[in-house]
Each structure stands twice: as C-alpha cells, then as structure tokens.
Amino acid sequence: MAKSSKEANWPFLISVGLLSWFVPGGGYFLLKEKKRAWIILITISLLFIAGLYVGSIGVVDKVSIADKPWIISKLSWYTAQIIVSPVVMMIGSVTASGQYQVYGKPEEIGQIYTGIAGLLNFLCIINAVYLAYVGVERSGK
C-alpha cells in the first residue's frame, strides 16, 4: 500500500533519484538492494561504453537549439544520452569543439546504444524512487 503524500520522505526520495542519475543503480545502493544495483550499474555502463566504442565519443553531440534549430533528432539523442549520468555533459563539452566528427552507420549505432542506455537508466530511476516511496522491504536476501 502506497504512503500518502503527507507521509512521504521527500528528501530521501530526491536523494534516491539524484543518486540513481549520478551513478546508474546508485539509488538501489541507498535502498540496500546491492545485487540489483550492481547489475544495473554494469549493464548500463557497458551499454553506454559499447556505444562509445562503436561510434567514438563523437556520438555524444551537444547540440544547441539556438545554433541549429533544424536538428531536433540530435537534440533528442543528446537528451536521452544525458540521462545516463552527468558525465555525459562533460563528454558533450569536449565534443562541442567539432574535433570528434563521426558519420554513417557507426554514428547511428553508437547513438542508439548510448540513447538506449539513457532511457534504460530513466526506467531504473523511476523504479528506485517508486521502491523508496512505497518502502518495499525485500525478505529472503
């Protein structure tokens, strides 16, 4: 049974969500779900690293709408990628110089892998905050 909003521990829920964003699976560490946290950390990290391997760091393309308003698809990929971790913002600032250009299939496949890693982490963030909200205690650890 879910708690009412008056009983919710908002600072804890926010910390679970933020930690889940900074480190994939980090919110589960706060919830003492270590096995799940390690699985998520390894899975999302390997998926993101595989995308970087296939397409180089050039697939993280920080696009400004003010500069190029016609490139909505690149902005949506960057939005999906940034959900992995704030580290993606640092990679995006490195690639903003245009020095790491990538084209063709490697760019597309790398963007797909890194974007899916971000969307998968988004689902994990939502799940971790939900578990923190309902206060699910796992038995039989």
Structure tokens at 40: 């998520």
State pLDDT tens for residues 61-112.
Answer: 776 544 555 555 566 778 888 889 988 888 888 887 777 777 778 888 888 8
Domain boundary assignment for the chain: 10-134
Cα–Cα distance between 26 and 11 in angstroms, integer? 16
Largest CA distance in the chain: 55
Residue 13 pLDDT: 92
Cα–Cα distance between 98 and 62 in angstroms, integer? 10
Ranking 1-15, 28-42, 83-97 by mean pLDDT, the lowest is: 1-15
Taking alpha carbons only, the member of 130, 135, 136 closest to residue 20 is 130
Residue 140 pLDDT: 40
Supply angle C-alpha 87, 34, 9, rounded to 5.
Answer: 80
